[in-house]
Amino acid sequence: MISHKHNSINGIKIIDLHPFYDDRGVLVESYKKRDLLINTDFCQDNIVNSNYSCLRGLHFQSEPFAQSKLITVIKGKIQDVAIDIRESSSTFGHYFSIVLSEDDFKQIFIPKGFAHGFLTLSKTSTVHYKMDNIYKPDHQSGIAFNDEDLNIDWAINHNEIIVSDKDRNNPKFSEIQYFK
């Protein structure tokens, strides 16, 4: 199977935030449940700082601890990638990729049933994400970022990408247990 990038995948939402500027600077409402139009109760927030070419992912948690995520870049610029691992989906095995930065005032919502990762494209990045389920290490899994079958078009050469030892040893897409 050769994966393809999709400009839209059912369930993934790009949210345009609306900044308010005045003489003091800018204010952005980064989360207002009634305006988001998704039925998700977030219970955990994470903030991650990363250096240039650091890739975190591609991660997911199995049921009953699968997680939906709302991703916001606070500082810097990232390439955000989500892979559809829902076997019943018409885009199963396909990926979605978007560049997000502190300047574009956009967020991405990724529902349960996706593996997720991001690559820092600026000198440093600060990424904030909300999750609707708690982190459970014994339910976490991952997919190799450089899996040839997924054929993800990363914005940085694979040889320059920095990953943890754990992520470097993630299995291929064909070797994981998928969501039903």
Query: CA–CA distance from 89 to each of 32, 33, 161, 180 (Å)?
Result: 29, 26, 30, 9
**CB of 93 closer than 8 Å to CB of 50:** no
- Measured distance CA(142)–CA(101) in Å, rounded: 25
Catalytic hit among 59, 94, 95, 116: 59
128 as an active site residue: the answer is no
Catalytic hit among 52, 129, 139, 158: 129
129 as an active site residue: the answer is yes
From 36, 22, 20, select the one nearest 72 (Cα to Cα): 36
- Measured distance CA(82)–CA(175) in Å, rounded: 18
Positions marked catalytic: 59, 129
